[in-house]
Amino acid sequence: MPRLEGSSPSPPTNEKRPARSLFVFVFLWKNAYTMTVKLYMAMSANGMIARADDATDFVTPTEWASYSAAVGPAGNLIVGRRTYEVMTLQEEFAELVDVRVVVVTSKNVSMMSERHTVARSPREALAIFPSDAVVIVAGGGLLNASFMAEGLVDEISLDIEPVVFTNGIPLFRAASFQADLELIDQKLLSPHEIQLHYRVIKK
């Protein structure tokens, strides 16, 4: 068909615009999801996060201050039902009353704040938060293992207390998985307490 005078020429049929559009789409999609999931726990030197009766009397005020410093700015916390029920009995938990807490459980739980809610799975819990959030996962052992087994954890911070004991609740339990870690930071919380900060190597 002849081109009318003054009209713009048609673009060449071999122009690779679809490829460029695909590149832009992939770039935006990859950068839209920037959520960081951090597993943060205090534990004994042999990997126990609580005694068999759920007591955490070995955790020091120094460690709690470190924990609060992580949870406060994030403004959120994901825990299991048992951990939630234990935490709400502790005076220190009052400091976190305004934190958005999600309890992962299949059972009914009495919430102590309207900012606390229930999710039925790790992925459902994460879906509650914005895609650019820094999310703190903090036990117990079953929940920790569930998040790790599903490959949802990006970083792990462990505050190591100077004590060992048996008959306790381990950092991970009831799930089979392996994850390779990269040590990205370490610092002393006190002369006898150390924090190890790892990045989970995704495959």
Nearest-angstrom CA–CA distance, 80 and 174: 14
Percent of the chain scoring above 90 in pLDDT: 68
3-state secondary structure string, 155-172?
EEEEEEECCCCCCEEECC
Domains of the chain (ranges plus CATH)?
A: 34-200 (3.40.430.10)
pLDDT in tens, 79-105: 999 999 988 888 777 777 789 999 999
User: pLDDT band at residue 110, thresholds of 50, 70 and 90?
Assistant: confident
pLDDT in tens, 32-53: 458 999 999 999 999 999 999 9
Q: Which long-range contacts (CB under 8 A, 24 or more apart) does 100-106 make?
A: 100/75, 100/76, 100/128, 100/129, 101/76, 101/77, 102/76, 102/77, 102/78, 102/128, 103/78, 103/79, 104/78, 104/79, 104/80, 104/143, 104/146, 105/80, 105/81
Model pTM score? 0.81
What's the pLDDT score for residue 25?
45
pLDDT in tens, 120-176: 999 999 999 999 999 999 999 999 999 999 999 999 999 999 999 999 999 999 888
Whether the pLDDT of residue 117 is over 80: the answer is yes
User: pLDDT band at residue 27, thresholds of 50, 70 and 90?
Assistant: very low
| Between 28 and 69, the higher pLDDT residue | 69
| Between 112 and 28, the higher pLDDT residue | 112
Please compute the mean of the pLDDT values over residues 74-79 and round it to a whole number.
95
Please compute the mean of the pLDDT values over residues 166-193 and round it to a whole number.
95
